[in-house]
Structure 1
Amino acid sequence: MTATRRGRPPAGPERRNALVQAAYRCLAEGGFERLRMRDVAAGVGIDHSSIHHHFPTKQDLVVAVVDYTTRQFWSTTPPDGGPVERLRHHLATLRQKIVDEPELHIVLRELDLRARRDPELLEIIAGREEGWRSSLRTLLTGAAAAGALAPGVDPATGAELVIATVKGASLASSRAGDVIELLDQLLIRA
């Protein structure tokens, strides 16, 4: 990122990205209680009134953080290989992200909790998660067709189980590996 002589990012996409990063850090460190537009602006070194040029409302900033956090998962499923290998790789990558990037999951859980009280945010998050849900259903359907899915596991229900398990495991990162490994064993025939 190129900085101006005052040490703050230049106006435009770089500054917008820096504001999203600052909001992300606020959420990771103190949850929604510490997410204040003034603090986000100060974290980037700009006057608090300038943040509104990039994000007219706090909700707009929150949506940008949702987009940033969900983008971190776009490449967790490899494009090549069979459905079982791809699913196992996806689960292993998620397990590693929980361990290596706990702040990412703290922010995601904060957003999930906030969405329970904010219908607009709930709809936005559901829309972003639909891609994940669809990808999981496709992988599980492929595993079922290959005879590798555990008996009685419906791909749509299995996708919901994966999502719920990953979200829960991220709350107890010290046990995430064990929990996701168990999920692998429950879904896929050895």
Structure 2
Amino acid sequence: MRLRQVAEDVGIDHSTLHHHFATKQSLVEAVAAYTTRQFWETSPPAPDRAAALRAHLRVLQQMIVEQPDLFAVTVELDLRARRDPAVAAAMAQHESGWRAKLVEILTGLVPDPATSAELVIATVKGVRLLPDAAGPVLDLLAATLTGDRRG
């Protein structure tokens, strides 16, 4: 990835891009922040934790279907994070809000909320390229975590 190419792809002069992002790393961190924040506010109010989890997963399913490019960006960021410790740190920092919200929802619902939060995140990242599969997969995940076999 070159900043000149990014500027060309989005239709701006490279100096304009450099004005806002001095380095490639600062651009990647801004993209990571923007992308991961999309997941922070995916928990509509619900009467109990099980309903909150199902509502959260329904919102994520809708995002998978309606915003596939968002998930394509997360794929690229995750791949880059495996090679670049700075990107990995930025992703971990920015995903912390989503993790915290999931742990909050899952506390009292499952024995290990932190591990279950990772399961939700891994599942969502795993189905991001298959919008048609998102609903059934996330419904099964909700049923499994809540103990509700009706979905």
Q: Give the TM-score of the pair, scaled to structure 1.
A: 0.71
Answer with 96-105 or 172-181: which moved more. 172-181
1:102 aligns with 2:85: no
Higher RCO by CA contacts (8 Å cutoff, separation 6 or greater)? 2
Match of 1:136 in 2: 102
Q: CA deviation at 1:45?
A: 4.2
Aligned mates of 2:23, 2:16 — CA distance in 1 = 12
Answer with 98-107 or 39-48: which moved more. 39-48
TM-superposition CA deviations, 1:114-170 (whole Å, max 9, x none): 10000010011011111111211111113x2xxxx4xxx421221111111111011
Match of 1:91 in 2: 57
Q: Give the TM-score of the pair, scaled to structure 2.
A: 0.88
Match of 1:51 in 2: 17
Q: 5+ unaligned residues in a row in structure 1: which ranges?
A: 1-34
Aligned mates of 2:10, 2:85 — CA distance in 1 = 30
Q: 5+ unaligned residues in a row in structure 2: which ranges?
A: none
Tell me the amino acid that sits aligned with residue 62 of structure 1.
V
Q: CA deviation at 1:44?
A: 4.8
RMSD: 1.7
Match of 1:180 in 2: 138
Q: CA deviation at 1:75?
A: 1.8
Give structure 1 regions of 4+ aligned residues with deviation exceeding 4 angstroms: none
TM-superposition CA deviations, 1:62-83 (whole Å, max 9, x none): 1111111122223211245322
